[in-house]
Amino acid sequence: MLRIENAARTWRGPQDVRALAGVSLEVRPGEFVAVHGPSGCGKTTLLLVAGGLLAPDSGRVRVGGEDLYALPPERRARVRASRVGFVFQQFHLLPYLSVLENVLAPTLALPSEGAEGRARELLERLGLGARARHRPNELSAGEQQRTALARALLNRPGLLLADEPTGNLDEAAASDVLDRLEEFARGGGAVLLVTHNPRAVARAGRALRMEAGTFA
């Protein structure tokens, strides 16, 4: 589902920072892979490159067989919208929309028949059916993250990219979110998680440590 080949990325500035130093990684359908390491080691850059949000200086990124950065921007955006789901530490929910409307937000980029029915089904499965009309500020942190997860799953992606998804959650809510990521992988999806949380690392099927832009 995801293949990264020798990806390199340097952040340019008064003092250049080499965020990725020729990283290669494959995540297959059914795999749950965690990348961990100290702050500034390149984890989030890796995730952005994997999701088609940040072009590497060199190397190749394939999602579902598509060479992301060889595609024109419009086609790349459609691949990202249809095949990749993102879950972040900050939930990025729109405060003026209901829970259901937040889950349906991806249809603005990729209209999909039956999306509202799928959104309601996801909310029920994630224990949020009764919260569909609530606003984000009426939810707990765990409920907000489950809403964000439902949004990420709406377009039936094959790949989930998660950046510290448990960072703002208590232990019980964090465990619940990790349960959902495991469930997605067991269903044949691919999960790439970057985290500082040792409990999250322990839940993954494979763990890789990153240091100074490469795997240790």
Residue that has been written with the tokens 């232990």 in this structure = 171
Asked if the structure places residue 78 within a domain, the reply is yes
Q: Is 143 contained in some domain?
A: no
- Report residue 53 as tokens: 């949000």
Provide the pairing of β-strand 206-211 with 17-27.
unpaired
For residue 44, count other CB atoms closer than 10 A to its CB: 18
Count how many domains the chain has. Answer: 1
Domain presence at residue 187: yes
- DSSP 8-state symbol, 137: G
**Long-range contact list for 93-97, CB < 8 A, 24+ apart?**
93/136, 93/144, 93/147, 93/148, 94/136, 95/135, 95/136, 95/137, 96/135, 97/135, 97/136
130 in any annotated domain: no
104 assigned to some structural domain: no
By residue range, what is the domain housing residue 27? 2-95+152-215
Residue 41 domain-assigned? yes
Q: Are 4 and 61 in contact (CB under 8 A)?
A: yes
Does the residue 114 lie in any domain?
Answer: no
Considering only CA atoms, which of 74, 41, 72, 60 is closest in space to residue 214?
A: 41
CB-count exposure of residue 190 (10 Å: 0-12, 13-18, 19+): buried
What is the domain-level CATH number for residue 165?
A: 3.40.50.300
Any idea which residue has 């603005």 for tokens?
A: 108
List the chain pLDDT tens, one digit each, 216 residues: 999 999 999 988 888 889 999 999 999 999 999 999 988 889 999 999 999 999 999 999 999 989 999 999 989 988 888 899 999 888 899 999 999 999 999 887 777 788 999 999 999 989 999 999 999 999 999 999 999 999 999 989 999 999 988 888 888 888 888 998 999 999 999 999 999 889 999 999 999 999 988 998
**Is 20 part of any domain?**
yes
| Burial of 30 per CB tally in 10 Å (0-12, 13-18, 19+) | middle
Q: What's the pLDDT score for residue 181?
A: 92
